[in-house]
Every structure is written in C-alpha cells, then in structure tokens.
C-alpha cells in the first residue's frame, strides 16, 4: 500500500489529481491499519493490567479462571461473524464517491478494486472498534470495576481504559484527517479543481469519522465516569461514618477523664482532617489524564476545522494570505 503511495507521489507522470487523492486516501488507510495494530496489542494488555491492579469486580472464583473468562468472552466478540457484515457495508460506501464514468480505464478499475478491498478491511476494523468500545461501556454500566481513587495515575487506576479508548478513536481519525485536509488545504494546491468538486461530498462524509471518533472515546468512558462518581460517593459516606464514630468516642471520653478525652478528641479530629484533605486531593472522576485528552483533541483538529470551515464558510485563502 505504501509503495503505491510512494510511486504515485514520487513519479511526476503519475501525479494526476485523481491519483494524488487516491494515494493520500491509501496513506490514511495505512495509518488506520497502524493504529489498529496498536489497538490489537493493547486490548489484552489492558485487561491484564486492570487485572493486576485489582479493579475488576466479578463472581467469587479463582483469579486465573475469571481472567480467562473475561478474555475469552472479549475474543469471541472481536472475531464474531458479524464483522463480515460490517466489511460489506463499508465496501458499499465506496460507490458513493467513485467516478464510474471513468471505469473503462484499466487504471481506474484497478483503483476501484483496491478501494473495495481496503474498505472491506476498514469495515472489519470498525467492528473491532465497536466491540472494544462496548467492552469498556459494559464495564462501567454493570459496575464491574472498582476504582482506586488514590491510585498514583490520578485516574482511579483506570488510565489503561482511557488509553485503550484513545487508540480506538485513532483508528478512524486518520479518515477524518484525510477528508479534513482535502477540505482545508486541497483548494490551496494545484489540485484545487478536484478539491472543490469533492468538497460537498467530503463535508458530508466527514460527519461519519467525527461521530465515530467522539463516540468511541467519550461514550464508553462516560459510563466508567459514572462508576467513578458512584465510588466517590461511597467514599464520602464512609468518611461521614468515620466522623460519627469520632463524635461518639469523644462523647464517651468526656464522661470519664476530661484531660484524656480532650487529647483523644484532638487526635481523632486531626486524623479526620488529614483523611478529608487526602481525599480532596485524589478525587478523579474520569479514567484519563490531560495528556490523553490532549492527544485525542489534536487528532480531531483537522476534521473539526474542516467541518466548521464549511458550516461557517471560512475563507482560508484570505486567512492564510494566499490568492487575491
């Protein structure tokens, strides 16, 4: 795939507008495949890391059996036969933009064949993205995780889930970057006529990767966020119970020895203050840190700007000082 891109962009005779657009699309597909490979490796690593951190909540059974049950269920859905239906759906999407009037050319027919194959595999990736997001979503919805609010990752020990959802979103983000780049920068290149011709279609298509990227990142983590809020509320109730016990203990001590009671009350009050301060400093409610969020926002910059530019009709040539 990368050889086709390099040949098309490197050989002047092949650098026609259609070939350049095709090659940049193949480059975006290659980046998606790379992100998917990283995602595939991170899925079992994330499960094992969460297991090591002891954040899973489940039936009372042996540790190895529970871990095997979780991984087998996830693998079963990742390789479910429905993935092929997803591949077919994405293959049919190619016919929304393919220029059939040029299909008589052997080069164009070869390009169509490549696009259909790539679209099918992207559909398989989309299925695995859906399963991965659903896995994280169900962890939060069914309260199958126990956040560790004092964990040093400042994400309740759930930072691996945030990173997993980040890579899940990056799989589709390359497609959004491809569409956004042609919308924004295409009219500034020698291929402006082609960019203007495809801009309306690319603007509509841009909604798909944007919706999938934001949904695959925020929707699963939203359910984990709710689980973390519930865990924090339980912690506050525990702190309230501790305060009540201290008050009861202080009342008992006042009935015996006033000097001893005063010292004990001060000690317990100081203890409660330290606990509350420690809790206030470690109250994560999202399973990702600012760095993870920054990476996600950066990956969505091109598609978001491209979409906004068409909605607001921003004059990029004037903004960048190009043209009259």
| Domain spans of the chain, in order of start | 2-237+282-313
Residues in the chain: 324
Q: What is the pLDDT along the chain (324 residues), one digit of tens a residue?
A: 444 444 444 555 445 666 777 778 878 888 888 888 898 888 888 888 888 888 777 655 455 566 677 777 778 888 888 888 988 888 887 777 665 655 556 666 776 787 788 788 888 888 888 888 888 888 888 777 788 767 788 888 889 999 999 999 998 898 899 999 888 888 888 888 888 888 888 888 889 889 989 999 999 999 988 888 887 777 666 666 655 655 665 555 555 555 555 666 666 666 656 655 555 555 778 889 889 999 999 999 988 988 888 877 755 555 454 444
Predicted local confidence at residue 231, as pLDDT: 76
DSSP state letter for 289: -
What are 229's two structure tokens?
A: 């809020």
pLDDT at 306: 86
Cβ distance 180 to 28 under 8 Å? no
Beta bridge partners of 145: 56
Long-range contacts of residues 142-147, Cβ cutoff 8 Å, at least 24 apart: 143/57, 143/227, 143/230, 144/56, 144/57, 144/58, 145/50, 145/55, 145/56, 145/57, 145/224, 145/227, 146/54, 146/55, 146/56, 146/57, 146/231, 147/55, 147/227, 147/228, 147/231, 147/232, 147/284
- The Cβ of residue 301 has, within 10 Å, a number of other Cβ atoms equal to 13
pLDDT at 278: 53
> Can you tell me whether residue 56 is helix, strand or coil?
strand
**Whole-number pLDDT of residue 106:** 64
């Amino acid at each position: 795939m990368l050889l086709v891109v390099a040949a098309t962009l490197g050989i002047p005779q092949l650098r026609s507008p259609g070939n350049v657009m095709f090659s940049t699309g193949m480059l975006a597909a290659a980046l998606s495949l790379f992100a998917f490979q990283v995602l595939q490796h991170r899925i079992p690593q994330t499960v094992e890391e969460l297991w090591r951190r002891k954040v899973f909540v489940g039936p009372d059974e042996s540790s190895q059996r529970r871990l095997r049950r979780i991984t087998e269920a996830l693998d079963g859905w990742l390789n479910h036969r429905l993935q092929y239906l997803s591949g077919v759906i994405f293959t049919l999407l190619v016919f929304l933009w393919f220029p059939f009037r040029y299909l008589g050319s052997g080069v164009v027919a070869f390009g169509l064949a490549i696009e259909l194959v790539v679209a099918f595999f992207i559909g398989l990736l989309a299925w695995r993205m859906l399963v991965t997001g659903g896995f994280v979503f169900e962890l939060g919805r069914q309260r199958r995780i126990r956040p560790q609010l004092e964990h040093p990752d400042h994400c309740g020990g759930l930072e691996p889930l945030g990173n997993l959802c980040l890579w899940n979103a990056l799989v589709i983000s390359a497609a959004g970057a491809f569409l956004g780049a042609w919308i924004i920068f295409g009219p500034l290149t020698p291929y402006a006529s082609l960019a203007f011709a495809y801009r309306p279609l690319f603007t509509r298509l841009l909604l798909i990767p944007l919706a999938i990227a934001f949904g695959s990142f925020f929707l699963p983590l939203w359910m984990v966020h709710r689980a973390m809020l519930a865990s924090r509320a339980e912690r506050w109730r525990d702190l309230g119970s501790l305060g009540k016990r201290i008050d009861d203990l202080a009342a008992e001590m006042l009935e015996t020895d006033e000097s001893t009671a005063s010292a004990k009350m001060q000690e317990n009050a100081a203890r409660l203050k330290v606990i509350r301060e420690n809790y206030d400093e470690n109250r994560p409610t999202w399973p990702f840190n600012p760095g993870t969020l920054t990476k996600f926002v950066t990956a969505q910059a091109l598609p978001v700007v491209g979409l906004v530019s068409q909605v607001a009709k921003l004059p990029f040539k004037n903004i960048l000082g190009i043209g009259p």
